[in-house]
Structure 1
């Protein structure tokens, strides 16, 4: 990867929604029903990454839309509690969206998302957001799929200064992102991160190495590809790691809830780069943060820096 200054701020235009989380004994069959327990509502989506970064010393800001109803109020309160600045005013149009998260006993989760105002560009254009030369921009695949917001983000990242970091996580909707928008992402992204399942969907290869090779051909030669592999940790491909890649293991823990584990990984990875760590150490810390997060229930369960340091030491 071309040398860049360490990130000084994480800016996300990724949508923040409310997570309506319900523990279920099993997913209901089509037309069926199950009794859930432990229901809760909290800020989720893009909030998880911003919170993970902020808890680990990286200044963070939110550049997306937030609504004028109860979900928007909850989101703003969560941002304030983490010291994360909201750059856009509350929308007058409608409330923020929400996501129903069904969590099974083994910690696996299933989502149903109802978009709100976060799916559309705000009254302030993305180009009006003041982006510093060493800022890191995070973009989610959910936002790239939205008909209005996706093209606006694609046009914006194409003209960002090369010193700014662009990190993209396509997420579970990886195959739903329009071809032209994905092409714009590949042309500019510095760090492309996704899990093993999503890498298989995107590359149409079951073997990780083969899939990574397919994805690398679409990325710039100096871009970093991060494939998260659950309890096994993650793999780094591209740049000095080449097509053969480098595996970084994760601590062994008992998973309670996997919601937000990938977000914890991404936020701490960027915060670790900001702190001066190299890619391998950033990945090691990110793996530990994701492992720590899955031992707790809820979406924004990334550890704070002192918690992560103690966890790694132990």
Structure 2
């Protein structure tokens, strides 16, 4: 079995919590792509994380966490910056992320930093998330996209707080369109779809991305499951009933499960194969929702099978 290269951000999440009746922040290793890399490794795949990490103690903790999870660090670079922080507060079902750190430690990987052999040898290349808003990393992602010989997967993972007005949103939409056109798989959330294409039904967004050139498109709908566009018509796949306590990392775990299965069996030959894989990925996400934290709650394949037998 080959390996996946996951290109994106790693940072530290500060999550709303309470201790002895007072508000506190719980520190967790975070970043959507980091969650994906850890999720792939936990599900039995081989993942290499590619990105820029700071030069402080928090960055050392990120490296140690990734190493302990079995994620490779050959493609990471160290930059002279403190580790970026994402402060997450809950005012509704979706966490509200605000980002701190200038320049952001995760946004300093350049095209010249890429390990070309590592990218070319990957069976799956993941790109996406907030690094696409950083010009150096966007250039690196574009170079990786052009070098890739394996399957290319995209997750926009939009964070509205990082978009400064309509022009920034339009710019991100253009980037998503550019990468989707060359993607074998695009995974996005219904919130991503609503922000990027307001007023469009998720089935319409999925169909549009396929028209651009994306092989298959999965739109996650939270507790309502997912829309899968892999054949002539989009299909809705239901999510399992779970006792949700924290949805952090749920979407990332769907991506991780899909990548892990791509590493084992490649692309499904028929649309029904995608439906089955998404059904499994939604079970993985359900398990993630039943425990707090993102990367720390990524399950193993055995844990998923135990939970849903």
- TM-score tier, shorter chain, comes to 0.7 to 0.9
Instruction: Give 1:12 deviation, angstroms.
Output: 1.0
Instruction: Give 1:217 deviation, angstroms.
Output: 2.6
Indicate conservation of the 8 Å contact 1:107/1:257, yes or no: no
Provide TM-score, normalisation by structure 2. Answer: 0.85
Instruction: Give 1:183 deviation, angstroms.
Output: 4.1
Match of 2:166 in 1: none
Indicate conservation of the 8 Å contact 2:154/2:187, yes or no: yes
Indicate conservation of the 8 Å contact 1:18/1:44, yes or no: yes
Q: 1:309 aligns with which of 299, 305, 308?
A: 305
Provide TM-score, normalisation by structure 1. Answer: 0.83
Cα deviation per residue 1:149-171 (whole Å; 9 max; x = unaligned)? Answer: 1133123313422xx11111101
Indicate conservation of the 8 Å contact 2:79/2:105, yes or no: no
Pairing 1:213–2:213 present: no
Q: Distance in 1 between matches of 2:239 and 2:276?
A: 12
Match of 1:44 in 2: 30
RMSD: 2.4
Q: 1:196 aligns with which of 190, 201, 211?
A: 190
Q: Distance in 2 between matches of 1:171 and 1:120?
A: 19
Structure 2 runs not aligned, ≥5 long: 161-168
Q: Distance in 2 between matches of 1:154 and 1:126?
A: 11
Pairing 1:8–2:2 present: yes
Q: Distance in 1 between matches of 2:216 and 2:190?
A: 15
* Shift in alpha-carbon separation, 1:75–1:176, aligned structure 2, 3 A: farther
Match of 2:66 in 1: 79
Match of 1:227 in 2: 219
Match of 1:262 in 2: 251
Aligned to 2:213, the other structure's residue is in SS state coil
Indicate conservation of the 8 Å contact 1:98/1:113, yes or no: yes
Match of 2:275 in 1: 280
Match of 2:241 in 1: 252
Match of 1:3 in 2: none
Cα deviation per residue 1:199-237 (whole Å; 9 max; x = unaligned)? Answer: 1222333422233333333234xx111100111111111
Q: Distance in 1 between matches of 2:132 and 2:111?
A: 18
Q: 1:110 aligns with which of 86, 90, 96?
A: 96
Q: Distance in 2 between matches of 1:195 and 1:141?
A: 12
* Shift in alpha-carbon separation, 1:270–1:56, aligned structure 2, 3 A: same
Instruction: Give 1:90 deviation, angstroms.
Output: 5.0
* Shift in alpha-carbon separation, 1:36–1:177, aligned structure 2, 3 A: farther
Which is further off, 178-187 or 197-206? 178-187
Instruction: Give 1:140 deviation, angstroms.
Output: 1.8
Aligned to 2:78, the other structure's residue is in SS state coil
Indicate conservation of the 8 Å contact 2:116/2:147, yes or no: no
Indicate conservation of the 8 Å contact 2:123/2:263, yes or no: no
